[in-house]
Structure 1
C-alpha cells in the first residue's frame, strides 16, 4: 500500500497529505525562504477555517500530521500550540475571510517571482507558453505597506476581486497564488516561477523580446486552463517520488 493511502485518525487526511507534499517539493525546488513562508487550505464551506503550516517549521520537515487548523474569525487561534505568526495570520486570515474562491493559498518569496516583484514594471509579457499561461490573469500590488500584519493582509485580500486572476505579484515582497485545490495551486505556483525565470533570464540577454500577440496569448491561456488533469497528475507524480524515497511527509 502506498504511503499516501494510509488514513490515520485525523480529519482531512488526504488534504493534509497533499499539502505536506507541496511543502516538501517547494523546499526541494528552493522556492521557500527559511521558515518565513506559508501555505493554507480551507476546510469548511465559507473558507474561514483552514489548514496551515505550524509556526516557523521548515518546509522540508513538515508532515501531514503537523498541520494546524486556523480559524480566520477567531483571534484566539494565535494562542494555540504552534500558532501562526502574526504575518501568517494577517495575510492568510484576511484572504480566507474575504475571498471564498481562494480555497488554497500559497505565499513564497521564490527568487524569480520576487525579482519580478522588484521591477518598476512587474508585468509578465507572454514571451513563451508558460508566460502566456498568465496573460491577463495576474494582480500586481504596487503599494507594499510593510510586513503583512492584519491591516496589510486585509488590503492584499481586497485585490483578489477578479476570480479569473489567481496570481498576485506582491510588489517589493513576493508572490501569492490561489486555487481550488492543493494540486491546482501548487501547479500554478510552479509554472509561475518557471515563467518568471524565463522572462528574467530573457531580460538579462539584453536582446529584444519576441512577445506573442494578445490574441495568441489569450488563446494559449484558455487552452492551458482547460488542459485535462495536468495539476492532479503533477502532484501525484511528486507524491509517488516522495513515497519511493521513503519520505515521512504523509505521517
Structure 2
C-alpha cells in the first residue's frame, strides 16, 4: 500500500501581473471581465470552475479573453485571464507557476463560435445555474408568465447534442442564437451576449430571475394568470435594444462599486 503526500504549495496559485504587458484597452476589458466572473458567482449563477465568460479584445481582430480552466469564479482576476484566438491558439497568458492552467475546450468551442459570427458582441456568458438547467429540461421552455420573462418572449433554443467538444456543432449553435441576446441550451443551461460586459451580465441576470420565478410558480401546481398575446408582444418590444437605452449602462458602474467594497482583488 502506498501513500501520496502533498506539500502546502501544491495548490497555491501565484499569478504574475499582466498589467503593462497589454494595451490599456485590453487591461480595461480584463478588469470588466474579471468583475463579471465575480458577479456571476455573487449572484448564485456559477458552477465551481465550469462554464465560461469571454470578452472580445478591443482593437485586436480574432482574439478574446476567457478564464483559466482550474480557477473558481470568485478568484478570477484581470491578470488570470487567457487571451485566445478564434482558432483556439493561446496568444498570451500569465505565469501560473506549477499549476500551468490552460483553457477548456468546450468553452473555446462555444465562445469562439459566437465571437466569430457576431462581431458586434463584446461579451458572451454561459451558465449552468440550477434554474436555467431546470427550465432547459422542460418541453415548454421559458414561459412568459412574468414581466421579466416577457423580455425573453422570442428566446432561441439549441437542442442538446452532447458535451460541446465538436466544432461541427458551432454552425447550429450560432443559427439558434441568431441575432438575439439569449439562447437556452436544451438539457444544458443558458447563454447570453452583449455589446458590453455590463449588457451581457444584465441579460443573464434577468434570464436567471425569469427561470427562477417560473420554477417557483410551477411548484405551486396552480394555473397561471393569462396575459394577452398583444400585451406580451408590446412588453417584449419595450425591452428590445432598439426601443430603450443599452442595458448595463447604469448598472455596471454601481456593480463595480459593489465589488470594490466587497473585494477589489478582481482588479489585479
TM-score (norm: length of structure 1): 0.87
**What is the match of residue 147 of structure 1?**
163
Give the 3 Å change call, closer, same or farther, for CA 47–166 of structure 1 in structure 2. farther
Cα deviation, residue 151, structure 1:
2.5
| Structure 1 unpaired stretches of 5+ | 1-6
1:15 aligns with 2:33: no
- Preserved contact between residue 46 and residue 100 of structure 1 (Cα < 8 Å): no
Structure 2 distance, partners of 1:228, 1:90, is 31
Q: Whose helix proportion is higher, 1 or 2?
A: 1
Give the 3 Å change call, closer, same or farther, for CA 222–83 of structure 1 in structure 2. same
1:98 aligns with 2:111: no
**What is the match of residue 134 of structure 1?**
152
Task: Trace 1:75-224 onto structure 2 (pairs within 5 A).
Answer: 75-77=88-90, 82-122=101-141, 124-136=142-154, 138-142=155-159, 144-149=160-165, 150-161=167-178, 163=179, 165-224=180-239
Structure 1 distance, partners of 2:85, 2:202, is 26
1:70 aligns with 2:84: yes
- Preserved contact between residue 92 and residue 153 of structure 1 (Cα < 8 Å): no
Structure 1 distance, partners of 2:47, 2:211, is 17
Report the RMSD for the aligned CA atoms in angstroms. 2.3
Give the 3 Å change call, closer, same or farther, for CA 159–191 of structure 1 in structure 2. same
Structure 1 distance, partners of 2:126, 2:28, is 21
**Equivalent residue for 2:253, pick from 222, 236, 249:** 236
Give the 3 Å change call, closer, same or farther, for CA 196–211 of structure 1 in structure 2. farther
Give the 3 Å change call, closer, same or farther, for CA 197–47 of structure 1 in structure 2. farther
Which has the bigger relative contact order, CA under 8 A and spacing at least 6?
A: 1
TM-score (norm: length of structure 2): 0.81
- Preserved contact between residue 49 and residue 72 of structure 2 (Cα < 8 Å): yes
Counting matched residue pairs gives 239
Cα deviation, residue 217, structure 1:
1.9
Runs of 4 or more, structure 1, over 6 Å off, are none
Larger radius of gyration: 2
Cα deviation, residue 219, structure 1:
1.8
Structure 2 distance, partners of 1:46, 1:95, is 16
